[in-house]
Structure 1
């Protein structure tokens, strides 16, 4: 195997970028991580070992892919930028456990790709990615809604978004995105990453989040998942306003309707004057079901 310096080192990254005339594309949210210690910490945060099948989203020039290849059983890397395919083919040549495919993860058929490219389908499947900031939420929600039972999702994202994912009730970071993640799994902030660890440097710092998809069902379920998130979004439409005022905006301002919605809150023991960030996921589920039973939402 090649004894070359790690792809993720600053010198090797600059060498690769120069050799192939690569410039980071803003349209794909590309920033190349140039800190090998951070790359190794990502692999450790995902607890990658030889018994794991790993899907990487957006390998770029292969810095994280290389570290995953050194630790995992097999790695399937999905790269949307076709111009990077020959680069990856070259720099990852020493690793026979890596497959790179030209795919947009938002459109990819992950179950089919897994069956096609992983030799042992009994092994756990983990997702590791340095996500583009502008499509972090759609990718995460797509992964969590996927029929694939992921063992772990370990992703880098904008620090501010990471803090929202792992936020606790009553904090300013807690919101609709927090609850959407909680519905599907448990998020934990692993560690922060300085903007100066990238070339080119983004305008904000990043953080690594690990998400453990939910294995057991919630204690209570909403009558409709779509209705639950409609209620959550409605309640957080103006987060500085009370639940009563936010409910008014999507169940209606009619006095009778408003009275019914307040009655639902009272029955659940929820103060109508509370702000939405005070409610837990289960309370939002109860509220959704209560509003449905009162014929205020369908």
Structure 2
């Protein structure tokens, strides 16, 4: 069994990288190993990989998982992946846009599903939002993403990184930063560093709210203009002045605070308080 490196495979097929698809392939084996080890894949797991590139991470996952579905959008990579991974009978390649994929169709009745991906920077937030908000049955997501986005996901209240994305992910998951990855670890080399992050999906969201849609609407409105007070951010939420005052009072939150100072729990209280008055 030939064990070619990412660079070797790219050279072998004369593969041309696509800027529009944000292709940066990992060439550092230590990072590859850290992703696989932290994903904690075993023979009971179905693994869904998004953006397998030339299949170097895929190959390591196939050695450990019950089955791997790899979702790849780039037509030029399909023959390469099929050729390089043909010896594995637990491999299935899906030529599709991950944002248009129904993951529950793939998961079916599997008990343990893990997502592993080196996500293109430009689709990181839409893919994470889709995976979490559409209620797919995942155990964990071990993903390599832009460092700045990883820091936003893991951020705590009252920091400049803390925002709507922090709340979204921390509502559904426990967040663990695995390691930072230098831009030298990729071909072609991106302009920014990356981070490997593991999101362990909670069986129940971290806070219980009466209306999830309203909760996320309040979060978005509170961060739309970071320098604004909560009062100014939430004026258009659908309550009159007296009701909005009452909502803040009932939640025990000062309306002069900024959204970036509120914890997940406080956003939950404020959301339920506004819901009760609508």
TM-score normalised by L of structure 2: 0.93
Alignment-derived partner of residue 249 in structure 2: 266
Alignment-derived partner of residue 286 in structure 1: 269
Distance of 1:244 and 1:232 partners within structure 2: 13
Distance of 2:205 and 2:198 partners within structure 1: 20
Distance of 1:237 and 1:76 partners within structure 2: 37
Distance of 2:158 and 2:112 partners within structure 1: 35
Q: 2:33 aligns with which of 40, 43, 62?
A: 40
Show the 5 A alignment for 1:29-108.
Answer: 29-108=22-101
Partner of 1:78, secondary structure, is: strand
Alignment-derived partner of residue 229 in structure 1: 216
Post-superposition offset of 1:107: 1.0
Distance of 2:274 and 2:111 partners within structure 1: 43
Structure 1 moving runs of 4+ over 3 Å:
none
Q: 1:259 to 1:114 in 2, by over 3 A?
A: closer
Higher Rg of the two aligned structures:
1
Q: Is the 8 A contact 2:27 2:187 kept in 1?
A: yes
Cα deviations by residue, 1:244-270 (Å, 9 ceiling, x for unpaired):
22223x247xxx933432332123221
Post-superposition offset of 1:178: 0.9
Distance of 1:21 and 1:89 partners within structure 2: 16
Q: 1:122 to 1:230 in 2, by over 3 A?
A: closer
Post-superposition offset of 1:160: 0.5
Q: 1:247 to 1:138 in 2, by over 3 A?
A: same
Post-superposition offset of 1:126: 0.4
Cα deviations by residue, 1:75-134 (Å, 9 ceiling, x for unpaired):
11111112211101111123232221212111112222334xxxxx44411000011111
Is structure 2 residue 198 aligned with structure 1 residue 216? Answer: no
Is structure 2 residue 177 aligned with structure 1 residue 189? Answer: yes
Q: Is the 8 A contact 2:226 2:260 kept in 1?
A: yes
Alignment-derived partner of residue 118 in structure 1: none
Root-mean-square deviation over aligned CA pairs: 1.9
Alignment-derived partner of residue 124 in structure 1: 112
Q: Which runs of 5+ in 1 are unaligned?
A: 116-120
Q: Which runs of 5+ in 2 are unaligned?
A: none
Show the 5 A alignment for 1:112-151.
Answer: 112-115=105-108, 121-151=109-139
Distance of 1:154 and 1:244 partners within structure 2: 37
Q: 1:182 to 1:92 in 2, by over 3 A?
A: same
Q: Is the 8 A contact 2:151 2:161 kept in 1?
A: yes
How many residue pairs align between the two structures? 278
TM-score normalised by L of structure 1: 0.87
Post-superposition offset of 1:153: 0.9
Post-superposition offset of 1:54: 0.6
